[in-house]
A and B are shown apart, each in its own frame.
Chain A
């Protein structure tokens, strides 16, 4: 048994030379998938993270729900393959904003052809914390056109409302 002065932060977190260098299993699985953009199976992820296949599947499902990865069932492969979402390199300039009961998180990602903006809709529940509801990616080049498109739709909606109310603004 260890002496008290031998207790270290890395031991508490289970980091040692024989095991995985990265403590956070979810981080480890995710980084493994990002390193293998052509897809990995649950078994491969389990082996890479030194965890059971059942546990790997749980984590992979959770990562799918968080839109960090996605899965495909290919006709000639028996098991599901998991891929990194958007094959992103890294995200930066991330900021969240609560707009009433809706939470939006916007971040920039370095894509293969240039920066992209990810817009996530998130939801907070008391016992589950914050979860991703859904997200979209917009290429940086299209961002201005995208916001103009939103403005255009807003104008159209207001016009529609005015027409509906007999020309009176509501």
Chain B
């Protein structure tokens, strides 16, 4: 049974949709349409728990599902640290009270199963060992370890194929198919992280395998069925979102393919089913590459319009994962929720180990809203030294526009105490402005902003 209720504000402005969303049995009451932060690990969770004022009231948060144990452990340890640092008493649990104010969406990056990156695989295995004993499968720690090993072995067997998904239903452990174990893990992950919404662990849809649309659809139905059975049983379970993970190969320059029609059709069929799905969740891999080609950007914009139409007709919300500031264009086109990583990086969460050795890259990048570009730490430092200005001060949510000297030599401190909270506050300031323009009757304020931004954002602006 669909639990979500969306109340649209009238009058409608262009394709944009704004209003309030509620899920009464989960105590969710929040606004749509909005940007919201994507939390990928211990550092990001520290930022929002240390500085919750950078968030808007009742703003949702998206968590990386493969890292929930890491994220929750950090939240737990941070509780004592903050009590000591601030000489305060946190009675109700830092994370628990946070989730009461900010509804959580737990999602799963498709690259972990598609590419089987070493970091992603080991993170998944650890997370699974931790969570499976708390699921309704009745596995103890030893069994959880064994079955997690079976699943990751299957993932690494033949990456970049659908071998994993084919074999999930054929291999059993203690009379459960590995498919059902994976889905139980996915749901338990949402329950443990106190999520209000859950996306599925579904295959990456790739142009080279047309059947991937159908497999993804079946995995969605299986997950939704199990969520529904738990809900009927009286368990508190998150609302399940029909999940579509697209590889960038699906998006050819200025070419709307029959496969994209299949994606749209399956999303429509899913949302027409009031029983199983509470909305739609989409992610697109490699947005940086797509942004290099205006033709591919055009196809994504068309996809956004079509998804928004379905979402509106079915009064079920649409969520786009890790769009960064491209989310402003999506909001213009009628999408409801678009997440933004606090470091504004749109690459895969799990990549090969290593990275650029130059220290400047370790500080990450920070959004300068006046210049409409992302600055490296040395640019912030130069601006501070030469002009004493630093970054432009923000109207709301965060009042620090200059890093401390200590932060400028310690990358982690710079990221946690300066760059990431500043970035979140910056996109929330943009969000406020976007809403103001929409209220005044403007139709494309997001894309108007993006047209004068640096790459990769400018290709998403108005032409």
Contacts and interface: CB of A to CB of B under 8 A. Distances in A.
Chains A and B bind each other: yes
Interface of A: 1-2, 4-5, 7-14, 19, 23-27, 30, 50-52, 55, 58-59, 62, 91, 94-96, 98, 100-101, 107, 124, 126-130
30 contacts: A1-B166, A2-B169, A4-B162, A4-B166, A4-B212, A4-B214, A7-B165, A7-B166, A9-B218, A12-B169, A12-B179, A12-B183, A13-B222, A13-B226, A14-B169, A14-B172, A19-B175, A23-B180, A24-B136, A24-B233, A27-B229, A30-B233, A52-B174, A58-B139, A58-B140, A94-B234, A95-B25, A98-B100, A126-B76, A129-B194
Contacts of B131: 127
Contacts of A107: 234
Contacts of B72: 126-127
B122 interface: no
A88 B184 CA distance: 26
B49 to A, nearest CB: 13
Among all A-B residue pairs, the 3 with the closest Cβ atoms: A12-B179, A14-B177, A9-B222
Contacts of B134: 127-129
B130 interface: yes
B7 interface: no
Contact of A13 (B76, B93, B177, B236): B177
A96 B26 CA distance: 8
Given A13-B183, A27-B229, A58-B140, 7 more contacts: A12-B218, A100-B92, A101-B96, A126-B72, A126-B96, A127-B73, A127-B192
A58 B138 contact: yes
A12 B222 contact: yes
A129 B226 contact: no
Contacts of B219: 9, 12
Contact of B75 (A5, A50, A126): A126
B352 interface: no
A55 B138 contact: yes
A98 B26 CA distance: 11
Interface of B: 25, 27, 69, 72-73, 75-76, 91-93, 95-96, 100, 130-131, 134, 136-140, 162, 165-170, 172, 174-177, 179-180, 183, 188, 191-192, 194, 209, 211-212, 214-215, 218-219, 221-222, 225-226, 229-230, 233-234, 236
A2 B166 contact: yes
A124 B93 CA distance: 10
A111 to B, nearest CB: 16
A101 to B, nearest CB: 5
A98 to B, nearest CB: 7
A59 B137 CA distance: 8
A46 B63 CA distance: 37
A130 B236 contact: yes
A30 to B, nearest CB: 8
Q: Which of A25, A30, A52, A129 has the most CB of B within 10 A?
A: A129
A25 B191 CA distance: 18
A107 B137 CA distance: 25
A124 B169 contact: no
A96 B25 contact: yes
Contact of B230 (A24, A50, A126): A24
Contacts of B214: 4-5, 7
Contacts of B174: 51-52, 55
Given A23-B226, A52-B174, A126-B72, A11 B91 contact: no
A24 B76 contact: no
Given A9-B225, A12-B183, A127 B140 contact: no
A51 B407 CA distance: 57
A8 B218 contact: yes
Contacts of B212: 4
A101 B93 contact: yes
Nearest to A14: B177
A96 B231 CA distance: 13
A153 B149 CA distance: 55
Contact of A27 (B92, B96, B170, B233): B233
A98 B236 CA distance: 13
Contacts of B226: 13, 23-24
B225 A25 contact: no
Contact of B180 (A13, A96, A130): A13
Given A25-B176, A26-B138, A126-B72, A1 B188 contact: no
A127 B130 contact: yes
Contacts of B166: 1-2, 4, 7
